[in-house]
Amino acid sequence: MKICVRMCICCKNRFEQKNLLRLQYLNKKLQKYTNYGRSFYICHECLNQQNNKKLLNSILNICKTKDKEKILLDLKEISLDSTKSTSM
């Protein structure tokens, strides 16, 4: 059986695909992957770190935007949503 391995855009570590959060930047909004378009992966360790400038810079670079406040709001929303779904 083939194991899909993907890389976190922040820490550059490789993980199994099922252990990563897959996001995309679509219509000027950071969101969970919708099975359409390009995407990127973030590990849960990087997502849960407080004040992670490297994560923010990595996302801004991939999304080709400079709107830090919007990205931070979207990221917090996704982070809260992913913690709710994993706790259920």
DSSP string, 1-66: -PPPEEEBTTT--EEEGGGEEEEEEETTEEEE--SSS--EEEEHHHHHSTT-HHHHHHHHHHHT--
Please give the pLDDT value at position 12: 95
For the stretch 6-48, pLDDT in tens is 999 999 999 999 999 999 999 999 999 999 999 999 999 998 8
For the stretch 68-77, pLDDT in tens is 999 989 988 9
pLDDT at 82 over 80: no
pLDDT at 86 over 90: no
Please give the pLDDT value at position 49: 83
Report in angstroms the alpha-carbon separations of 76 from 2, 16, 44, 49, 51.
33, 23, 13, 11, 11
